[in-house]
Structure 1
Amino acid sequence: MIEAVIWDFGGVLTSSPFEAFNRFEAERGLPKDFIRSINATNPDTNAWALFERSECTLDEFDALFAEEAAAKGATVRGREVVELLSGDIRPEMVEALKRCKARVKVGCITNNVAAGSGAGMARSESKAAQVAEIMSLFDHVIESSKAGIRKPDPRIYEMACEALGVTPAGSVYLDDLGINLKPAALLGMKTIKVTSAAQALAELEQAVGFPVA
């Protein structure tokens, strides 16, 4: 019996920032997934990890990321990466969130940074308003930049379940990154790796047992 559906934000309710990363890399003549390769090096202690836990400021992140990029032979500032983070809202996923909310509890666990506006790190007032409207739907939201803890730390999933008053076994968790799904699955959560909206909605509908599209 599903008691809650818990959502990642970027790459699930919005398009993936990785798409923006790849466009940036192509424009700069950098190898595809260059930015992701930096973020995957020393993943618990690198500039990105520090920033998502609010252990460094935007200015510090800007310089630290530039150092990590330089070590890999390229010039990329941290602020340039931050500008790429806010994706486009996926209306069909927002509709699914609303349908889930009508029947079960809904929560959000998002790794984000203290830049832009709100949980979605929006770069414009109109986008910030859209994100705020979506965030108001959740029964509980955990932002890494406020909690000081980030996925894939297992504690963040436990925190979400405790806040919602549900068990991991009674929860579904959606994320676009496999590394963030593994700890949730080990806790007993039903996990869905989001590769597209259509695929995610089909799997979510099967998991919860009611229409979401």
Structure 2
Amino acid sequence: MKAPRFKAVFFDMGGVCVHSPLEGIRTFERQNGIPENYLNVAISVQGEHGAFQKLERGELKLSEFYPEFGRQCSDHATNAKAYVEYLVKKGGERISEDQIPQITVDGKELFTFMMEEAQKPDLLVLNAVRKLKESKRFKIAALTNNFQSEETPTADPDSAGQAFGRPPAELVALFDEYIESSLVGMRKPDPEIFRYACDRMGVQPSEAIMLDDIGPNLKAAKDVGMTPIRVYVGRSKEAIEELEKLVGMSLLESREPSNSRQLRDRQKTVVESSPPHARPSTRSTSIQRNSCTHTRPPTARYDRSRRGARPADGVCRWT
């Protein structure tokens, strides 16, 4: 194979190294009879001032985030209009706004669905990360939009921080750097976070590869000079095969790395030991149809004084 011209590989977390929170959203929509992709549109239409976006820049605490997130996802006037526009752009079924049911979303319940999905590792991708690091030919970094929990672990089962564990040390140890949006005050697809990440790794953007599952993130990475690889849901093998061609080495093998086994076992433990309130339920989202109610299941800039800083409790989540 031809010698690689790349010096660094960046991996997104949710949707690449672990399952995508978007899969949790889809599950929530199916269980609650919400139109497909409605909630993703509702989150996206908020732009950089949305609760989810602010959480990932470290501008909101979880306790502040949940109610604001729920209100924004329940804003029928804004979201129905955006969803109709989304369907038209997609070339799908044309419907009117009054055909879309009014919903009231519990922000914490929806977010729990999202984060539980992000507890599940993609062992094929993690194996590729391990092999790249062991080769000592590349600098390996995680570049993730995530959030910080202000809460330390407690015995209180209703504590917001109890639903999801700390990022496993086995996961963080796979990377030379673990770059988090909520610590640097920027989030993808802001071009500045890609420039910052390359600078932190000591490489030029032209020397870096970025694996992500979100199109706008990859477009921004490409615009600053990085080489993008799209990871589609359920098709991570294709992405790793593309990565193999760029780095000039084999990354696919049947042997499961020990770190990945530990992550898989930890994920199983987290799900089995989660308190009842933290598991997906079908009780609190209200959907209104035809007057009947059914119960069913500004961009922050990086502050260099914060470089390398972590909250006192070190609790973070990967999305």
Residues 175 and 194 of structure 1 are in contact (CA less than 8 Å); yes or no, is this contact kept in structure 2?
yes
Structure 2 residue runs of 5 or longer lacking an equivalent are: 77-101, 152-160, 253-319
Match of 1:208 in 2: 247
Give the drift of 1:116.
9.6
Counterpart of 2:187 in 1: which secondary structure?
A: coil
TM-score (norm 2): 0.61
The Cα offsets for residues 145-204 of structure 1, whole Å up to 9 and x where unpaired, read as 111111111111111111111111111100000110111101111100101211111111
Residues 58 and 79 of structure 1 are in contact (CA less than 8 Å); yes or no, is this contact kept in structure 2?
no
Match of 1:85 in 2: 115
Residues 115 and 164 of structure 2 are in contact (CA less than 8 Å); yes or no, is this contact kept in structure 1?
no
Counterpart of 1:81 in 2: which secondary structure?
A: helix
Residues 116 and 122 of structure 1 are in contact (CA less than 8 Å); yes or no, is this contact kept in structure 2?
no
Which one of 104, 110, 114 corresponds to residue 144 of structure 2?
110
Cα pair distance change 1:114/1:91, threshold 3 Å: same
The Cα offsets for residues 80-125 of structure 1, whole Å up to 9 and x where unpaired, read as 23212242101111110011112211011100122499xxx99455
Larger Rg: 2
CA RMSD of aligned residues (A): 1.9
In the alignment, structure 1 residue 95 sits paired with structure 2 residue 127: yes
Give the drift of 1:74.
1.4
Distance in 1, Cα, partners of 2:182 & 2:38 = 24
Runs of 4+ more than 3 Å apart: 121-125
Residues 82 and 115 of structure 1 are in contact (CA less than 8 Å); yes or no, is this contact kept in structure 2?
no
Distance in 2, Cα, partners of 1:112 & 1:148 = 11
Which one of 237, 245, 258 corresponds to residue 198 of structure 1?
237
> For structure 1, which segment, 69-78 or 191-200, has the greater mean C-alpha deviation from structure 2 after superposition?
69-78
Counterpart of 1:200, as a letter, is A
Which one of 214, 219, 239 corresponds to residue 182 of structure 1?
219
In the alignment, structure 1 residue 167 sits paired with structure 2 residue 201: no
Match of 1:22 in 2: 26
Residues 70 and 108 of structure 2 are in contact (CA less than 8 Å); yes or no, is this contact kept in structure 1?
no
Cα pair distance change 1:11/1:122, threshold 3 Å: farther
Which one of 73, 91, 103 corresponds to residue 74 of structure 1?
103
Which one of 163, 176, 191 corresponds to residue 139 of structure 1?
176
Match of 1:158 in 2: 195
The Cα offsets for residues 40-85 of structure 1, whole Å up to 9 and x where unpaired, read as 1132111111111121221221111121122123111221232122
Residues 213 and 230 of structure 2 are in contact (CA less than 8 Å); yes or no, is this contact kept in structure 1?
yes
Give the % identical residues.
34
Distance in 1, Cα, partners of 2:140 & 2:64 = 34
Match of 1:5 in 2: 9
Distance in 1, Cα, partners of 2:182 & 2:142 = 14
Give the drift of 1:133.
0.8
TM-score (norm 1): 0.90
